[in-house]
């Protein structure tokens, strides 16, 4: 019985050693046509939303007046919305972060329909507005100059907060913010 167990053990060990040698050898069993097929099936990365030239990018807090009349986009006809309360210039790291947020947004996000944006991002080339994002954190909608776009709302909120701007969930949050600013 011991002899049989010894033979079986030698057989198992030999099989494992041979299998390992075959996997670490230089022989490549993958044919050229299989590689070409794999390469052909790889999807191209999505085109970046940020596919335009710009010199600078600003983040804005705006549209806090309940009686505000006119377009609620951050930029309209190459003019920044007159209701701007605060402006922050974004650095390269923030712009790259924003690009990832927009480029990797889910295909569909459930949102409400209020669209009263209070945050905006404007891309400038010289003094001209090249593109903008108007962001409503109350309904999780974002528009650029062409209409609604999908963004990961939580990620864009974290970017806004990281720059020291408040996030509003409702009109009461705006009133509280205005009261705090008036007290200062």
pLDDT in tens, 144-182: 988 888 888 899 999 999 999 999 998 899 989 988 876
Question: Where do the domains of the chain lie?
Answer: 56-183
Instruction: Quote the percentage of the chain above a pLDDT of 90.
Output: 38
pTM, 2 dp: 0.70
Widest pairwise Cα distance in the chain: 95
Task: State residue 89's pLDDT score.
Answer: 97
3-state secondary structure of 7: helix
pLDDT at 108: 61
Cα distances from 154 to residues 90, 101, 123, 137, in angstroms, run 18, 9, 21, 9
Residues of the chain short of pLDDT 70, as ranges, are 1-47, 66-71, 107-113, 182-184
């Amino acid at each position: 019985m011991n002899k049989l167990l010894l033979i079986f053990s030698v057989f198992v060990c030999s099989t494992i050693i041979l299998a390992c040698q075959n996997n670490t050898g230089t022989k490549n069993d993958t044919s050229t046509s299989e590689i070409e097929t794999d390469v052909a099936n790889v999807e191209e990365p999505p085109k970046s939303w940020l596919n335009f030239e710009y010199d600078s990018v600003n983040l804005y807090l705006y549209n806090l007046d309940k009686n505000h009349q006119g377009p609620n986009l951050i930029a309209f006809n190459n003019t920044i919305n007159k209701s701007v309360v605060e402006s922050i210039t974004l650095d390269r790291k923030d712009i790259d972060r924003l690009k990832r947020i927009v480029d990797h947004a889910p295909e569909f996000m459930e949102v409400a329909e209020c669209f009263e944006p209070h945050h905006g991002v404007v891309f400038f080339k010289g003094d001209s507005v090249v593109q903008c994002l108007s962001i409503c954190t109350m309904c999780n909608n974002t528009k650029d100059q062409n209409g609604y776009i999908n963004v990961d709302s939580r990620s864009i909120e974290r970017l806004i907060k990281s720059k020291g701007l408040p996030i509003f969930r409702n009109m009461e949050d705006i009133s509280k913010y205005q009261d705090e600013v008036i007290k200062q």
